Structure 1
Amino acid sequence: MTYQFLQKALITSIAVGIICGIIGSFIILRGMALMGDAISHAVLPGVAISYMLGINYFYGAVTFGILTAIGIGVVSQNSRIKNDSSIGIVFTAFFSLGIILIAQAQTATDLTQILFGNVLSIRNSDMIMTLITSAIIIFAVTAFYKELLVSTFDETMAAAYGLPTKLIHYGIMVLLTLATVASLQTVGVVLVVAMLITPAATAYLLTNRFWIMLILSSFFGALSSVIGLYISFKHNLSSGAVIVLTATALFILVFIFSPKQGVLWRSLRSRKSRTAMEH
């Protein structure tokens, strides 16, 4: 902790772990895991254009993330094409454009960091941007918690209550885009979907209450970031990959040992009930 670059990396990683856990909870309950993957890849042309223009990649990435969300909505709502197919069409188009623009930008080292993440080389401006983004996401979720809760669990009931369900959907898309872009420097485009899904899935196996799930998923996201960052620094490994593997290890532990949903306890309970029936 005497190294300043490690302190910046730690603060940024914890912030990313918390916001990915929060947004990930909405994503998995709404069955939108593929959307997270789509937006994380579709921001690539925005990153490349930002480098060409010499501006912070955050602005270009957010713009293309929001364009992706709108594009997917327009295609699926105005044609017979289902949501998963429209996701495939739009995100692959943007991702392909991103690959071409990367070749034109000719800044391979910076863009490799965006693809795979390198939190140890984070700049002050990136850390501040991540913290501001985290504050915006936490504020938005806290302020509109009831609306988000109702529309996540029962969209028909939310519409009957007069809630603007389409606006809420696109609001979540904007928050997902912000979380994705904030995570680029930490885990990169390729691995960001794992940080959105794995901590939230881990929390989902431990509770049936949504607010507890939000807290647990934030905790698992932050814990994965801290442990992963320490291991990657200690053994000189890719920080993003180690953070994701740590999150996966936590998921496997909960998957096996969770008191209600764990594979181990479920098999023990079923064996006990079979024994009772035999007797």
Structure 2
Amino acid sequence: MEALLAPFAHDFMREALLIGSLVATACALLSCYIVLKGWSLLGDAIAHAVLPGVVIASALGFPIAIGAFAAGMACALSAGFVQSHSRVKEDAALGVVFTGMFAAGLVMLAFLTTEAHITHILFGNILGIEAEDFWQTLAVGGAVLAVLAVKGRDLVLFCFDAGHARSIGLNVSALRYLFLALLSAAVVAGVQAVGVILVVALLITPGCIGYLLSDRFGRMAAIAAGSALLSNAAGIVLSFHFNVSPAGSIVLVLSGLFALALVFAPQHGLLAARRRISSAG
């Protein structure tokens, strides 16, 4: 216990735990909707597409959160426009748009004078987060959780059966744009913690863990949030003791939990499937 608690004697480690926990919870809850809706590529796309927004905002002296949010929404809306006005399907449109935007961000870094460091953008800087970014991330993550608390039931219905949601009077288009906004906001928060590359893991893996371990959405969300919080705390402790990337440690622990769920899940794990095949034979 002494070794586990030793890192949190430092202020920057306690701040990292707080910010990481908030971001992990927000992303984990959204990951449940993403997995149910089959929008995993959308989370990946928005996470990468925020790069040009971050670079432009930093070069102009604006808050990074504003640029990242605008770029994330632009990616989702542009992909939707391409899909609606051409023969290109949604997944292909997302692939074209987000890779183009990510490449544009990399090129911009060579021509624009910016304080944004490419390493911090790509892999986060949770142990050295600035005070301004700390409060921005806290506000954005808190806002995502607050909206989910109010509109979560409507979003669940939208993800399960958009047709039924429309038939009972819900505005499906508004819910779609709300979800896109929440996803972009979660990516904004995640950029400060684990960067634009590894935030994809927080937006997909916890939901997959919950999906393997439960058939009820409430329990799935609780498992997803719990696995994300555990991975955040364990990853930060491991990064302190072994002097490795905290973002990499967090995602590595999360991936390990997914591997355990994949093998040992009582109903949907590989061992359970083998037992069913053996008993049937």
TM-score by length of 1: 0.94
What SS is found at the alignment partner of 2:213?
A: coil
Q: Look up the match of 2:215.
A: 208
What's the offset of the Cα at 1:86? 1.1
Q: Which runs of 5+ in 1 are unaligned?
A: 275-279
Q: Which runs of 5+ in 2 are unaligned?
A: 1-7
Distance in 2 (alpha carbons) for counterparts of 1:107 and 1:138: 31
Equivalent runs, 1:1-279 vs 2, <5 Å = 1-105=8-112, 107=114, 110-274=117-281
Aligned residues: 274
CA contact (8 A) 1:19 1:179 kept: yes
What SS is found at the alignment partner of 2:117?
A: helix
Paired amino acid for 1:95: F
Distance in 2 (alpha carbons) for counterparts of 1:90 and 1:273: 47
Q: Look up the match of 1:277.
A: none
Paired amino acid for 1:27: I
Deviates further, 138-147 or 202-211: 138-147
Distance in 2 (alpha carbons) for counterparts of 1:107 and 1:60: 13
Paired amino acid for 1:265: A
Paired amino acid for 2:118: L
CA contact (8 A) 1:17 1:223 kept: no
What SS is found at the alignment partner of 1:144?
A: helix
What's the offset of the Cα at 1:2? 1.7
Paired amino acid for 2:257: L
What's the offset of the Cα at 1:4? 0.9
Paired amino acid for 2:80: G
Paired amino acid for 1:64: A
Q: 1:217-274: per-residue Cα shift (whole Å, max 9, x none)?
A: 1111111111011101111111111111110000011111111111123212322332
CA contact (8 A) 1:255 1:263 kept: yes
What's the offset of the Cα at 1:94? 1.1
Q: 1:17-49: per-residue Cα shift (whole Å, max 9, x none)?
A: 101101111111111111111101110011111
Paired amino acid for 1:79: S
Q: 1:48-103: per-residue Cα shift (whole Å, max 9, x none)?
A: 11221123211111111111111112111222221011101211221121011111
RMSD: 1.4
CA contact (8 A) 1:130 1:182 kept: yes
What SS is found at the alignment partner of 2:24?
A: helix
Distance in 2 (alpha carbons) for counterparts of 1:100 and 1:118: 22
Deviates further, 228-237 or 262-271: 262-271
Q: 1:114-173: per-residue Cα shift (whole Å, max 9, x none)?
A: 101121111222222222112211111121122111111011111222221121111111
CA contact (8 A) 1:118 1:238 kept: no
CA contact (8 A) 1:72 1:86 kept: yes
Distance in 2 (alpha carbons) for counterparts of 1:108 and 1:244: 26
Paired amino acid for 1:192: V
Paired amino acid for 1:193: V
